[in-house]
Amino acid sequence: MTLPPFQALIDDHAETIHRFLSAIVGPVEADDCFQETFLAALRAYPGVRAGSNLRAWLFAVARSKAIDSHRRASRAPVPLGAAPDDRVVGDGGAGETDDALWSAVAALPEKQRAAVVLRFACDLSHRDIGRMLDCSDEAARRSVHEGVKRLREVWT
Amino acid sequence: MNESIERILRSGPDGGGVGESVSRFAAAAEAAGLVDVAYVRAGTPFGDVLMAGTSKGLVRIGFLHTSSEEELLREIAVSVSPRVLHAPGRLDEARRQLDEYFEGRRRTFELATDRRLIRGFAREVLAHTARIPYGSFLTYGEVAAEAGKPRAHRAAGTALARNPIPIVIPCHRVLRSGGVIGNYGGGPEMKARLLALEGARVASA
């Protein structure tokens, strides 16, 4: 078992990671997080154990970069995004409705947000999500379920 | 409601394409000194080649009409470093010189090479091969002799067959005795055409 060329990770996963980050931190911050994710991954790559789940590893790096980005944003003087209790209302246009849902996603607790995005936008199994969020398949399934439930409550 | 939530979630958020982020990453990785091997595909009259370079110089040229890109990159990841990235900038000069060679406008390459993939007796053999002038040729036996082992023509043949940087280290200028073309990584036909391009007078082709 040997490590594949790093380019193969980009060819296979860059698109999904970009999607994940766009959903988690928003399209504006996504590129910065993407750069940080892949630079950190490339730096650490020769030390990665061959045969390990490289996709799960990349997502874990991306998730931690997204958390860093949220921390930075929350220290910014101007509050960003809606408070979790706000109901998000679009005016009915399809694009706006979608945007409203993504704002609601952004307002979910971090673990639920990651679980929901990984499940739907990135099409990962509960098992992979559990591995990434460091919890059981069942706990991953629960986080997805609770996230969707919460979205249903706030999204009209 | 649940279904439409899932549908929107599955379609993903609006965002810039990933393409731009990927090219920006290649440049950032190169600037951070994290690209152990940069590679690019280049066109030649014989089909595409893959060119790979380290910080020291050109480390590998592979013929994509006889090997797959995936195979070549895996081999590089194992033998040099897994930090292999498609980052064309580093190979601009090598690509330019290769173009000139195939257009018949260049007789010698002025490129740094990284010969870490060449070991033992092969180092001697390929070092002497690199000095064979444009348009001329030697036999396997003659190269073996120049490398200090006149009887080792078989070992010389193996070293030449494994040349990691063909064309730039011109292993196509080494023939079997009697001017027989012999084998080549890009196929015997390519070898004959390279010699013809250089105007070498090969007795039998």
Q: Of B96, B116, B136, which closes a domain?
A: B116
Q: Tell whether the model's pLDDT for residue B30 goes beyond 70.
A: yes
pLDDT tens per residue across span A112-126: 999 999 999 999 999
Same domain, residue pair B96 and B126: no
The helix-helix angle for A6-25 and B69-79 (nearest 10°) equals 100
ipTM of the complex: 0.90
Q: pLDDT tens digit string along B141-191?
A: 999 999 999 999 999 999 999 999 999 999 999 999 888 898 899 999 999
pLDDT at A27: 85
Is B86 within a domain?
yes
Determine the structural domain holding residue A151 and report its residue range.
Answer: 84-156
**A56 or B134: whose pLDDT is higher?**
B134
Q: What is the pLDDT of residues A7-38, one digit of tens each?
A: 999 999 999 999 999 999 988 899 999 999 99
Residue B46 has pLDDT above 60, yes or no: yes
Contact residues, chain B, for A114 at CB < 8 Å: none
Q: Does residue B205 belong to any structural domain of this protein?
A: no
**Residue B140 pLDDT:** 95
Could you tell me what percent of chain B has a pLDDT over 70?
97
Planar angle of CA A81, A86, A88, nearest 5 degrees: 80
- Phi first, then psi, for residue B113 (nearest 5°) are -120, 150
pLDDT of residue B205: 45
Residues A18 and A40 in one domain: yes
Confidence of residue A77 (pLDDT cuts 50, 70, 90): low
Flag whether B157 is in a domain. Answer: yes
The closest CB to that of B84, out of A7, A31, A120, belongs to A7
- Write down the pLDDT at residue B150: 93
**Domain-ending residue, one of A80, A96, A116:** A80
Domain boundary (A42, A58, A80) is at: A80
Amino acid B15: pLDDT: 66
- Beta carbons of A10 and B16 less than 8 Å apart: no
- Domain containing residue A1: CATH number: 1.10.1740.10
pLDDT surpasses 50 at A85: no
Instruction: DSSP for chain A, please give it.
Output: --PPPHHHHHHHHHHHHHHHHHHHH-HHHHHHHHHHHHHHHHHHGGGSPTTS-HHHHHHHHHHHHHHHHHHHHHHSSS--S--TTSPB---S-HHHHHHHHHHHHHTS-HHHHHHHIIIIIS---HHHHHHHHTS-HHHHHHHHHHHHHHHHHHB-
pLDDT in tens, A126-154: 998 998 888 999 999 999 999 999 999 98
Contact criterion met (CB < 8 Å) for B12 and A151: no
Give chain A's domain count.
2
CB contact under 8 A, B16 and A31: yes
If you average pLDDT over residues B116-126, what whole number do you get?
97
Q: How far apart are CA A6 and CA B18, in angstroms?
A: 17
Mean pLDDT, rounded, of chain B? 94
List the beta bridge partners of residue B51.
B40, B61
pLDDT value at residue A99 = 83
Residue A100: band (very low, low, confident or very high) from pLDDT cuts 50, 70, 90: confident
| Residue B87 Cα distances to A123, B90, B126, angstroms | 30, 7, 28
Does residue A95 surpass a pLDDT of 70?
A: no
Confidence check: pLDDT of A88 > 50 = no
Res A87: pLDDT: 44
pLDDT for res A79: 43
Take residue A152 and report the two structure tokens written for it: 């249903």
B67-83 pLDDT per residue, tens: 999 999 999 999 999 99
- The confidence score (pLDDT) of residue B2 equals 66
pLDDT over 90 (residue A44):
yes
Pick A18's closest partner by Cβ from B18, B29, B37.
Answer: B18
- Indicate whether A71 pLDDT > 60: yes
Residues 6+ apart with CB under 8 A from A68: A36
Domain count, chain B: 2
What CATH code is carried by the domain that includes residue A149?
A: 1.10.10.10
Phi/psi for A88 (5° steps) reads -100, 120
Indicate which CATH number applies to the domain containing B150: 1.10.10.10
Whether residue B87 is found in the same domain as residue B155 = no
Closest residue in A to B87 (Cα–Cα): A7
What is the CATH classification number for the domain harbouring B32?
3.30.160.70
Reduce the DSSP state of residue B10 to 3 states and report it. Answer: helix
Q: Is the pLDDT of residue A84 over 50?
A: no
DSSP B72: H
Amino acid B179: pLDDT: 83
Chain A positions in Cβ-Cβ contact with residue B29 (cut-off 8 Å): 38-39, 42
pLDDT of residue A54: 93
Asked whether the beta carbons of residue A31 and residue B85 sit closer than 8 angstroms, the reply is no
**Which chain B positions have a beta carbon within 8 Å of A120's beta carbon?**
6, 9-10
